[in-house]
Amino acid sequence: MAAFRERYLTAQDGLRLYFRDYGDPLSARAPLLCLTGIVRNSADFADLAARHAGERRVICPDYRGRGRSAYDSDWRNYDPFVYANDIAHLMAATGIDRVVVVGTSLGAALAMGLAVLKPALLAGIVLNDFGPEVASGGVSRILDYIGADRPQPDWPSAVHHLRELLPTLSIRSDEGWLKMAHGTYRQGADGRLHFDWDVNLARPLARSNGTVPDLWPYFRALGRLPTLALRGDLSDVLSLETFERMALAKPDLLRVTVANAGHAPTLNEPEAAAVDEFIRRF
């Protein structure tokens, strides 16, 4: 694993937010900003960061309510607009004014939002298994598990639970599943393993009955911005129909399908080499 600096940022509302800071801040290459899925944290991007930290700075934040960032006492702040504001504040605090974004799931939605809110910030975007329309089946599945803690007695049990919960993930080794478990659970004061996120972050989604707003205006805001879109061919979040419509709406869109992968590709699959090639353009 590449070395990283553990850093904290005080958000504009006073919440303490954590991020990993890899690589040389003075590198001439465009920094890389890695934005996770809805309940994930910075550990997910350890391998991607290791591949790029030798030539550029890599920033991997934990959203509020996840990982090592503080939980918000007001669940209504678990909102994409608040996350986007946190990210913009992070970029200002780190002195980054131009960045390549790799966004998985929610992170991809936030990347599209930044194209509207902070267009000059973006040099390029990778959208990992997410598009301007979200399949209802995937939203329902995610809502079913993120809103309730499911404590596990030990790491083998945690791995077993994740294998059953996420059977289409493209993880093929026991070591990979154990790494996934360590990025999903934390040990509590009771000695048991608990989900490493605030289960209250599901409340805004539950209140909206899992309805996702129309994101096509955000996707169209990408304009001519260099963009690579990945789709797991077993994805229940990004449908093949939407993936094809994205290409029609943005003819310069680069697209890659990851074989035998559900939501979301880990970016360690052979097909994900296209992500590394894309990043190295900047």
- What is the distance between the alpha carbons of residues 57 and 8, in angstroms, rounded to a whole number? 16
Report whether 112 contacts 80 (CB < 8 A): no
Domain extent listing, the chain: 4-148+212-279
- pLDDT 10s digits, 17-73: 999 999 999 999 999 999 999 999 999 999 999 999 999 999 999 999 999 999 999
The helix/strand/coil state of 102 is strand
- pLDDT at residue 12, as a whole number: 93
Domain 4-148+212-279 CATH superfamily: Alpha/Beta hydrolase fold, catalytic domain (3.40.50.1820)
- What is the pTM assigned to this prediction? 0.96
- pLDDT 10s digits, 235-246: 999 999 999 999
User: Which one, of 36, 232, 223, lies nearest residue 146 by Cα?
Assistant: 36
The one-character DSSP state at 193 is: E
- pLDDT 10s digits, 125-137: 999 999 999 987 8
User: Which one, of 271, 229, 270, lies nearest residue 247 by Cα?
Assistant: 229
